[in-house]
Amino acid sequence: MAGRLWTVERDRRLREEAIEWLKFRTDDGAIPLTRAEIRDFSFEGEPFALQATQQGIRKPRQLEAALSIQTVYRTPGQSRPYEDTVGSDGLIRYMWRGDDPNLPENRALKSAMENDLPLIWFIGVGMDPALFQAVCPVYLIDEEPELKRFVIVPHDEEAFFPREAGASTVIQETVKRFLTRETKIRLHQPVFRSTVLRAYEDRCAVCNLAHRVLLDAAHIVPDSHELGIASVVNGMALCKIHHAAFDSSILGIRPDMVVQIRPDLLEEIDGPMLEYGLKERHGQKLMMLPTKKIERPRADLLEIAYERFLHAKPA
């Protein structure tokens, strides 16, 4: 095997198989993986490392182009993995390694860009053990050498590249808008979800329900709001019912983390969901919060959300 030549086709097949495998292992991006789990991948019957052990860029020696990049988890307060590298166009930037464009890792990224090769992005969503959200495929669509970085988009199809649409600015703008939306859906949302669910140990903050499929990562302040950041401090793991109740101001959370139910509902008599699921939670402390204080909801965000609850009118 070692003697066999690494053709472009073989490289592409490796990437395809790796991406398929990751989709399967992560239940289509729903579950983050540990380093050990990522090491389970094999290609042509032999283990093949998909992830760099130390620094971010993985360039297998057999390949010319990089295979994956990674961003380690940083707790709130430190700058978020990619928040500081979102351009004004809403697209994500990935920094070179160091300053030298000719470092092998940087050349490997450039090669992936020039050949439109799909990459895997492992984004850290927690520590002890380190957990990664695999976002794939992503493509590098541009380089900004003066800023020492590449422009990244997550997208399944290779058809849509601003570089190739270069002639028309209308098309470019449309493509950019599309890619910005894709970035949000394919990259920010799954990373936010995994980070929040991990911090809440896969339990609803209000009722302690521990079934991942029934849980959402709720925004405390909606992401349409200027403070609605995609950070764990603006998130809370909530079950589907409590998420909907929170978003529609049936349920509020006081800044001291005590659950409040809209007064008119407290008067109502109905079945078990209303009685136990909602009314009995009134006046109770949240049942689950992140162990690390720094990952708990930020007070100013809770206040904004609680104000909204207090002023909401019954539908």
Window 205 to 234, contacts with Zn ion (CB under 5 A): 206-207, 209
8-state DSSP, 264? H
If one asks whether residue 63 binds Zn ion (CB under 5 A), the answer comes out as no
If one asks whether residue 242 binds Zn ion (CB under 5 A), the answer comes out as yes
If one asks whether residue 237 binds Zn ion (CB under 5 A), the answer comes out as no
Please tell me the distance from the alpha carbon of residue 298 to that of residue 255, in angstroms, as a whole number: 9
State the minimum distance, in angstroms, from the CB of residue 283 to Zn ion: 16
Please tell me the distance from the alpha carbon of residue 71 to that of residue 128, in angstroms, as a whole number: 16
State the minimum distance, in angstroms, from the CB of residue 91 to Zn ion: 35
Three-class secondary structure of residue 242 per DSSP = helix
State the minimum distance, in angstroms, from the CB of residue 214 to Zn ion: 8
Sheet strands (E) in 9-108: 33-34, 42-43, 46-47, 68-71, 92-95
State the minimum distance, in angstroms, from the CB of residue 309 to Zn ion: 16
Please tell me the distance from the alpha carbon of residue 39 to that of residue 220, in angstroms, as a whole number: 35
> Which structure tokens are listed for 70?
């990674």
State the minimum distance, in angstroms, from the CB of residue 262 to Zn ion: 16
The count of residues interacting with Zn ion (CB under 5 A) is: 6
Residues 177-206: x/- map of binding to Zn ion (CB under 5 A)? ---------------------------x-x
Among 120, 123, 152, 239, binds Zn ion (CB under 5 A): 239
Cα-based distances in Å from 112 to 15, 105, 173, 174, 189: 11, 11, 24, 24, 25
Q: Which is nearer to Zn ion, 273 or 299 (CB)?
A: 273
Please tell me the distance from the alpha carbon of residue 230 to that of residue 193, in angstroms, as a whole number: 9
> Using CB under 5 A, which of the segments 36-44, 68-76, 166-174, 242-250 binds Zn ion?
242-250
Residues that bind Zn ion (CB under 5 A): 204, 206-207, 209, 239, 242
